[in-house]
Amino acid sequence: MAVLRVLLVLAFAGEASSVQQPACSYLSLLRHLKLDTANHLVSITRPVRNWTTPTWVWVDMLLHGILKVDEKAQTVSSHVWRHMSWSSEFLTWNSTEFCGIEYLTVPTSSIWIPDVSILEDVSDTGSIYTSPVVKLHHSGFASTTARQRLTTACRLGLRLFPFDRQQCNITFLSTSSEASSIHMGALNNGSVLTHVAERFMSTQGEWDLRKMDIAVDYLRSGESFSSKVVYMVFLARKPMLYVINLIVPLLALLVLDLASFFIHEARGEKLSFKVTVLLSISVLLLVLQDMLPSTEDRLPMIASYCVAVFGLVGVSVLEAILVGYLIDLDAYFGRTAQTSAQRDKQPEDAHLGEPAAAEEKLQVKPEQSDLPLDGLQQILQAVAVLREEAERRVKERGDGTYRRMAEIIDAVFFVLYFVAVAVFLSYMYAAWVSHAML
């Protein structure tokens, strides 16, 4: 009986203690934090006892993907997770008093949240997902997360396209609060962020994340300063597609044009070949036009490259036209010289016969020169042969002058052209492509 009584007493004692300490429920904690009723005051004021105490706001950003870089609009779209935490002097509790509760989640509308926004943000509002709850820690730290398809304005330098590197800043700042009331800080440093981003990056497109850096700074607007955290994202473009689609074909066309100097002139194929090369280059120029914005002040290197290749091949087409013209001129003079020679030759041929025959006579009959009539005829024949020879020489000179001139022009131009192409290509390499290797 005594044992039963003891047990009963123990049971009642246990029950009584559980009535006295109902602090294991979230409800009691909410009551302790005065969040049980719609406590408006907690959500509208900065949670400090003395107004001069600044509130620290820590931001963290995880770059989850680079979706698109728009060269024409000068924007970068990325997928980011944003994390923000701040300290509250009112929302603290001793976790031992509440059965070890360390974390509590409350709706975002019930407490004060710093108004941190991104300076470069140009995304539409539909692309942001903010967590509806705030997570509270017993030490007074509150934190929220947001997931966003973030489009930021970024001034893209396209001079070295497609070997360009971009630096885009993502600036977190509190637009309505001064630095005296809100201090901004970063939770992680740049190398940690780079490492984490590299691990969790789901998509990078044609870009490569080189590194991320963080700068904590002040933004001055008039007399007031506001604190800001700048995330500097360094991106490098993967240039292979453009190299294969544009740079290498243009180079190949330039080499083809150089090779076309070895096509024989007289065939008339050289000019049409060169014009075909020129047309192919202009097709590639159309591709380029789609890729680059027209807003660039300084001409991108790739545009200079295309225009220079076009210009070089254009000049070589002009040269081919000139050489073709000279050869035609030569053929024309050669023909007129021939016809005039034939016109002069026609009446004499009647009694002088073939020049070859005359020559033969000249060679064959020197020992029969004892007769005076024969001697006279021999002299006449010799004169005719000499004249024939002289005429042929004259004709050949008229024939050869322009052709030789064309050949000289072609050779000199080829050398100059080769040197120009070599200088141009090495300049392009030094000023442009070598940047990709750094």
Ligand X SMILES: *[C@@H]1O[C@H](CO)[C@@H](O)[C@H](O)[C@H]1NC(C)=O
Q: Which residues bind ligand X (CB under 6 A)?
A: 155, 167, 169, 215, 217, 230, 232
The contacts of residue 75 (CB under 8 Å, 6+ apart) are 69, 122, 151, 152, 153, 154
Residue 414: other Cβ atoms inside 10 A = 15
CB of 185 to ligand X, least distance (A): 15
Q: Shortest distance, CB of residue 166 to ligand X, whole angstroms?
A: 9
Give whichever of 235 and 326 is closer to ligand X, judged by the CB atom.
235
Shortest CB 200 distance to ligand X, Å: 23
In this structure, how many other beta carbons lie within 10 angstroms of the beta carbon of residue 49? 7
CA gap 319, 310 in Å, rounded = 14
Chain position whose Cβ is nearest to ligand X: 169
Considering the complex, state which of residue 201 and residue 219 has its C-beta at the smaller distance from ligand X.
219
Task: Compute the CA torsion angle 401, 404, 408, 411 (nearest 10 deg).
Answer: 160
Q: Would you say 116 or 327 has its CB closer to ligand X?
A: 116
Shortest reach from residue 197's CB to ligand X, in Å: 18
Q: Minimum distance from CB of 203 to ligand X (Å)?
A: 23
For the sheet with 165-174, list strands across it: 116-118, 165-174, 224-237, 207-221
Which residue's CB is nearer to ligand X, number 51 or number 218?
Answer: 218
CA pair distance 242, 233, nearest whole angstrom: 23
Nearest distance in Å: CB 215, ligand X: 4
Comparison of 190 and 400: residue with beta carbon closer to ligand X: 190
- What value, to the nearest 5°, has the Cα angle with vertex 406 and ends 404 and 410? 115
* CA within 13 Å, CB half, 215: 10
Nearest-approach distance from CB 226 to ligand X, in angstroms: 13
Q: What is the largest CA-CA distance in the chain?
A: 182
228's CB contacts (< 8 A; 6+ apart) are 119, 171, 172, 173, 184, 216, 217, 218, 219
Closest CB 168 distance from ligand X, rounded Å: 7
- What is the nearest approach in angstroms of ligand X to the Cβ of residue 217? 5
On whether the CB atoms of residues 88 and 57 are closer than 8 A, the answer is: no
State whether residue 53 is helix, strand or coil. coil
Contacts with 402 (C-beta within 8 Å, 6 or more apart), sequence order: 326, 327, 329, 330, 333
Q: Which is nearer to ligand X, 156 or 337 (CB)?
A: 156
Provide the 3-class DSSP secondary structure of residue 285. helix
User: In angstroms, rounded to a whole number, what is the distance separating the alpha carbons of residues 90 and 106?
Assistant: 14
Q: Would you say 164 or 388 has its CB closer to ligand X?
A: 164
Are 118 and 52 in contact by the 8 Å Cβ rule? The answer is no
H or E stretch covering 362: helix 355-364
The one-letter amino acid code at 51 reads: W
Smaller CB distance to ligand X: residue 228 or 274? 228
Nearer to ligand X, 48 or 232 (CB): 232
> Please, which residue, 64 or 228, has the CB nearer to ligand X?
228
Cα distances (Å, whole numbers) of residue 425 to 158, 243, 261, 411, 421 = 20, 15, 19, 21, 6
Chain centre distance of CA 339: 64
Q: How many residues does the chain have?
A: 438
User: CB 138 → ligand X: shortest distance, Å?
Assistant: 36
Q: Which is nearer to ligand X, 230 or 253 (CB)?
A: 230
Tell me whether residue 154 or residue 303 sits nearer to ligand X (CB atom).
Answer: 154
From the CB of 232, what's the least distance to ligand X, in Å? 5
Q: How far is the CB of 235 from ligand X (least distance, A)?
A: 12
